[in-house]
Amino acid sequence: MLQLTNVSFKPQGKLLLNQVSISVRAGEVYGLLGANGAGKTTLLKAISGDIKASGSITLYGKALAQWNRRELAKHLAVLPQSSQLTFPFSAREVVALGLTPLSLSKAQAASLIDEKMHATDCYSFADRAYPSLSGGERQRVQLARVLLQLSQASHSPLLLLDEPTSAQDLGQQHNLLRLTQTLAKKEGFGVVAILHDLNQVLRYCDRCCLLDQGRVSAVDSPDKLLSDERIQQHWQYQPQRVVLGNGQTALI
Amino acid sequence: MQRSVSLCALALASLLIVCALLSLVLGAMNLPVYDSLLIVVDKLFGANLSQLEDYQQIVVLELRLPRLLLAVFVGAILAQCGAVVQGLFRNPLADPGIIGVSSGAAVGAIVAIVVFPAVWGSWTIPTMAFVGGLLTTLLVYGLAQSKSGTSVLILLLAGVAISAFAGAAIGFLSYFADDASLRELNVWQMGSLTGANDANLWLAFTTMVLLMIAFQRRAQALNALLLGEPEARHLGIDVEQLKLQMIILTAVGVGVAVSCSGIIGFVGLVVPHLVRLATGPNHHFLLPLSALLGAVLLMCSDLLARLVVQPAELPVGLVTVLLGAPFFLILLIQQRKNWS
């Protein structure tokens, strides 16, 4: 669904993305990995259109710049790492902002809002003011908003997650990643996520791309990609491996 | 939420009517209540019910009525522009007066009064006020933008600098002004509704209606903008176009308000704040309710201005500043904990 070909970004002479070519399929969770400064966030911004990179980025074969804004918003959404929102919207009103590109009747909109808030487990604080919520609660509200935004997609939508677990506690991190995994498997979402925890990468990603100084170092399934040598090379850390009861490996 | 919005709208509409009635009957010359209302009905429907003397009719129809209408229109314009500017800057401390836009518009108007009074007839002053307001908004907006969003500090400091510059420019121009212009200049600086006439009433009314329609159509986009510019863009909004439209429309609003009544400060700051406290920041409700409360507030301020030192009167801009400045300080104290 998403195809990047020779994407480069060089603001003020500094090469932040260097000839990146990757493709993301519908129905997969695609991890972006790399040490700090490797270009993960820049790449995500190039895909979301926040920065203008050279090269070609297409969604369903059509260059992003050629999409109608509203149509693109129905098919591509970004879950922000944090939000600047300081005005006292209720959680429900924030979710309702996901209606912006859609055309729905009032009743349809109301039932979809409820549905997405249940799905992301934020229905219980629907009427509380957004600025009074904890970091984790805010992110779930934002996720509900983003899911609402994608609810009228005619093709499988693409969801971009920028460090989605940074403000969450352990249980919430797994709930969120499990939910995105379900969206990929059951509803065919393509999910591109920046993740730092390699165990989460092993557990939830289907494929991942390892970035190094703005260029693609490797693309593979996580268990093949995350060899001891690569981890040592990119993160300067020698991991230990523990085989779990279910046969999966965990890194310590 | 819907219920509190309806209640608020109902309360404000009733308040508007009560204030309008009080504005008609109270003042330096006390008039019988019933007849003062009937004369307005007479005027509207061509009836002949009122017992007022001719000179009393003039007081109601040619002094008090135009003035209260101008208060309604200008109050509604300023309050809506305040709500939009606060949304645009994503900051509740922004206000066309505080960030210097009103001062810029006033400089434009004063240049028109002193330098070329009759180039485009009665359109000179509003046009120049619009140009002054627009240039100031663009300047302040450009200055306050940074990678991490809008800088409040630069916003407020730019307002201080522009207001100071405007003060100096007005002083400089008044040095060259003749007596008639000088009197007019004083009115601009203090803010007053005494200049209400058919021409500026129509101008203010049309502007108010156009702004209401234009802002309401963009209410959802303004809501999305509160999330942040990238987030609004991801929701399919052309953010640059939206910002430009809002900047031009607020400059039109402030320009027209300043050309009709001079600098009336703090209405744009106080009103959206109070409305947000009651019904939240959703622009679908915030904009029309701010227009209502702005109208009520300016009408009450003008009533106070006329009554406090009667038979003389205070400039209404003085009253709004006296009410608004302490409010602004309270807001600053509340926000202080967010900044430290």
Q: How far apart are CA B339 and CA A187, in angstroms?
A: 43
Query: A199 — contact with chain B (CB < 8 Å)?
Result: no
Q: How many C-beta neighbours within 10 Å does residue B300 have?
A: 21
By the 8 A CB rule, do A7 and A20 touch? yes
Q: How far apart are CA B259 and CA B127, in angstroms?
A: 9
Nearest chain A alpha carbon to B335: A86
Report B:135-154 residues touching A (Cβ under 8 A): 149
Percent of chain B with pLDDT over 70: 94
Task: State pTM to two decimals.
Answer: 0.88
Backbone φ/ψ region at B95: left (φ over 0), alpha (ψ -120 to 50), beta? beta
| pLDDT for B329 beyond 60 | yes
Query: B3 — contact with chain A (CB < 8 Å)?
Result: no
**Residues counted in chain A:** 252
Interface test with B, best of A12, A100, A104 (most B CBs within 10 A): A100
Q: Over chain B, what is the mean pLDDT?
A: 86
The predicted complex's ipTM stands at 0.91
By the 8 A CB rule, do B68 and B23 touch? yes
Which string of DSSP letters, residue by residue, matches A99-122?
A: GTT----HHHHHHHHHHHHHHTT-
The residues pairing with A31 across neighbouring beta strands, listed in sequence order, are: A193, A208
Cα dihedral B107, B109, B112, B117 sign:
negative
Q: Over chain A, what is the mean pLDDT?
A: 90
Q: How far apart are CA A140 and CA B324, in angstroms?
A: 38
Write down the pLDDT at residue A91: 94
Query: B240 — contact with chain A (CB < 8 Å)?
Result: no
Q: How far apart are CA B103 and CA B107, in angstroms?
A: 6
Q: How far apart are CA A229 and CA A38, in angstroms?
A: 18
Write down the pLDDT at residue B315: 87
Percent of chain B with pLDDT over 90: 32
Write down the pLDDT at residue B304: 92
pLDDT (tens digit, 9 = 90+) per residue, A80-128?
876 778 888 999 999 999 999 999 999 999 999 999 999 988 899 999 9
pLDDT (tens digit, 9 = 90+) per residue, A206-220?
999 999 999 999 899
Query: A72 — contact with chain B (CB < 8 Å)?
Result: yes
| pLDDT for B261 beyond 80 | yes
pLDDT (tens digit, 9 = 90+) per residue, B179-219?
877 777 776 778 888 888 888 899 999 999 999 999 999 99
The residue behind tokens 């005027």 is B43
Contacts 24+ apart (CB under 8 A), A120-127: A120/A144, A120/A147, A120/A179, A121/A175, A122/A91, A122/A95, A125/A91, A126/A90, A126/A91, A126/A92, A126/A95, A127/A90, A127/A91, A127/A92
Q: What are phi and psi of A126, to 5 degrees?
A: -55, -35
Contacts A99 to B, Cβ<8 Å: 220
User: CB distance B282–A93 less than 8 Å?
Assistant: yes
Distance from CA of B163 to the nearest CA of A (A): 27
- Give the type of residue at B162: I
Contacts B224 to A, Cβ<8 Å: 97, 100
Distance from CA of B83 to the nearest CA of A (A): 12
- Among partner residues B90, B227, B233, which is closest to A49 by beta-carbon distance? B233
Query: B32 — contact with chain A (CB < 8 Å)?
Result: no
Contacts B276 to A, Cβ<8 Å: 87-88
